[in-house]
Structure 1
Amino acid sequence: MDMNSSYHPFLGQIPEMDARVVEFPPLKVKDIPMIETRNAEGPFRVIVNMVEQTKKASGLIFNTFKELEEPEFDKLQEQFLVPTFAIGPFHKYFSASASSLWTQDRTSISWLDTQAPKSVIYVSFGSIAEMHEEKLNEVAWGLANSAQPFLWVVRPGLVNGSECLEILSKELLEAINRRGYIVKWAPQQEVLSHPATGGFWTHSGWNSTLESICEGVPMICSPFFGDQMVNSRYVNDIWKVGIMLEKGLERVEIESAIQKLMVGKEGEDMRKNITYFKDKLDLCLKPGGSSYQSLDNLVDFISSFRSRV
């Protein structure tokens, strides 16, 4: 896991953030998960220790499916000489609503029932992401100016110290109310599988990314931290099933991305690409499929330890 120190501002020179990472060609420097600290050596040591301890494991279990990340699994086999089991997507084995952190507003489904097929952009930045007031304004204006209907999850805590909507101008609220519907939390799997949903603007958490692929819904990606940047880069550059907002949350880029995804030729191509992965995913969960077989192999692997006792 060697990484050039020049990629980290506290270990080398200030890096060019849009430059490609030589060791991991899909990624740009700005996609590398960073921990903001003056003691860069500490977090680096933690990561190295995590990798070394993982190599000592009996096996590795992943919430993904082989057809989505096959080249990455080949690389893992070179680094971790233990059995690996791709048995995802996990949420296909149980309902995600059982672990929801917020009460789901089912009026979102009733509202979707009134919308045309594939016409709505669903917007949700997950359960813990936060943004400043000015960024919420940029999101709101981007949605209002896109001329597309939208379902927007604005949960408590999305903006620190604010009830969120109270900071928006009367003009902006009127524009939102004409075109969209806002809830504090939504039953995401149902929303993504609804016929009216044509796109998903997401923070690119891994669960949300997989859920979108499961339902064949192309994405707009606004990563906040951690693996979300890497997930977004794969969505945009490798799988080509969505658009990463490279400039962050700016209304002009937001408006453009929504229109490309929902009514543009680019969106049609992304929809075809994500349908391809959806079909592969559907097959992987059936008898003989990769995740189905991997789960069987995992059960056999665990059972083998009992026979050794």
Structure 2
Amino acid sequence: FKNLSKSFCVLVDSFEELEHDYINYLSKFVIVRPVGPLFKTPKATGARDIRGDFMKSDDCMEWLNSRAPASVVYISFGSLVYLPQQQITEIAYGLLNSHVSFLWVFKPPSKEFDVQPHVLPDGFLEGTREKGKMVEWSSQEEVLAHPSVACFLTHCGWNSSMEALTLGVPMLTFPAWGDQVTNAKFLVDVFGVGIKLGYGQSENKVVSRDEVKKRLLEATVGPKAEELKQNAFKWKKAAEAAVAAGGSSVRNLDAFMGNIKTRGA
């Protein structure tokens, strides 16, 4: 933040239609130009091409192809968030008791963390064999773009939040720390695409299996799920318009390039 006074503008991965008032306010101090969503690809297939053969997500996609439209809860907490074992147990039982279909990215802990690998409850895999799939990695953008995905249980990192918003996927918010908590608040209360499930780690609370079940069902069936879906679709169309020819993010990028040329002259 100390260096902002040295900048003539700041490029951000967002789009004007999403955060218009906040962008205008911040631009009183330094010009803010939203140029996102930056990762948007025509069919959400670019991620696979970049990562190479050793991380293919074909297995995930084949499984998703076998599921009904808007029936799967996609679960991923990113690369750095590592939930307590007790919370993992409650999420697992919530999934088991809700009978929803799910794709869960269940990663082993990073070697940087001195923690034990998570353990699933006895009987969980057998009890969810027909409904769920566990993987260590997935091509997230590709998964979120799949028509079988109904909602995204997420830690609310900004990249994940933007991917879901851009692809029109409602969210169950489970932030841990930092900007994730603020992002979750906006997803639920401002953008209208989320249901609060988890708390920030500073609150030191464990969400019960009953609450997990309740929120999973709320996000996938019934009037609330339909409301979230409609709001998510609205933001998807707005994001697509922002990066289309003449869209707000395209104009902002053009303006930035114009500034560069002028300052370099």
Of 133, 136, 139, 2:88 maps to: 136
1:83-232 equivalent positions in 2, closer than 5 A:
83-92=31-40, 95-96=46-47, 98=50, 103-157=55-109, 161-164=115-118, 167-232=119-184
Partner SS state of residue 151, structure 2: strand
3-state secondary structure, aligned to 2:73? strand
**Displacement of 1:195 after TM fit?**
1.0
- Runs of 5+ unmatched residues, structure 2: 200-205
After superposition, residues 33-72 of structure 1 pair within 5 angstroms as: 50=1, 52-72=2-22
Q: Distance in 2 between matches of 1:281 and 1:60?
A: 19
Amino acid at match of 1:253: E
Q: Match of 1:33?
A: none
TM-score (norm 2): 0.89
2:255 matches 1:303: no
* Aligned ranges 1:17-36 → 2 under 5 Å: none
Q: AA paired with 2:40? A: K
Q: What's the counterpart of residue 218 of structure 2?
A: 260
Instruction: Find the structure with the greater CA-based Rg.
Output: 1
Moved more, 87-96 or 177-186: 87-96
Q: Give the stretch that moved more between structures: 189-198 or 104-113.
A: 104-113
Residue 281 (structure 1) aligns with: 239
Quote the Cα distance in structure 2 between the aligned partners of 1:161 and 1:288: 49
Shift in Å, 1:144: 1.2
Structure 1, unpaired ranges of 5+: 1-49
Alpha-carbon distance in 2 for matches of 1:111, 1:161 = 31
Partner Cα separation in structure 2 for residue 296 and residue 281 of structure 1: 17
Aligned to 1:17: none
TM-score by length of 1: 0.76
Q: Is 1:131–1:160's contact at 8 Å kept on the other side of the alignment? A: no
How many matched pairs? 252
| Structure with more relative contact order (C-alpha pairs < 8 Å, separation 6 or more) | 2
The 8 Å contact of residues 146 and 259 in structure 1, kept in 2 or not, is answered as yes
* Structure 2 Cα separation of the partners of residues 141 and 288 of structure 1: 48
